[in-house]
């Protein structure tokens, strides 16, 4: 009977440790996914700003070319 109690206590401890580990892994994974989503949003905003700047540079080049031509 003693070995059965030892195994059942050990089994219960292993189960608790496994559940806590799974919960920590799940929370970490959720945080990782959120960070990736935030990074993607920032990247899209950065690309939009870069396109706006490129358009402004092109407008300025065209304006200077028009000023030189006249």
User: What are the pLDDT digits (tens) for 4-31?
Assistant: 555 677 777 888 888 999 999 999 999 9
Q: How far apart are CA 36 and CA 32, in angstroms?
A: 6
pLDDT at 1 over 50: no
Residue 59 main-chain phi, psi, to 5 deg: -60, -45
Cut 0.75: pTM above it: no
Give me the residue label for tokens 């006249």: 70
Give me the residue label for tokens 């219960």: 12
Q: How far apart are CA 49 and CA 66, in angstroms?
A: 26
- When the pLDDT of each residue in the chain is averaged and rounded to a whole number, the result is 89
């Amino acid at each position: 009977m003693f070995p059965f109690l030892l195994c059942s206590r050990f089994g219960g401890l292993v189960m608790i440790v496994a559940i806590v580990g799974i919960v920590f892994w799940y929370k970490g994974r959720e945080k990782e996914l959120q960070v990736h989503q935030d990074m993607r949003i920032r990247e899209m905003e950065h690309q939009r700003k870069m396109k706006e700047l490129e358009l402004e540079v092109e407008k300025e080049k065209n304006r200077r070319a028009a000023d030189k031509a006249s």
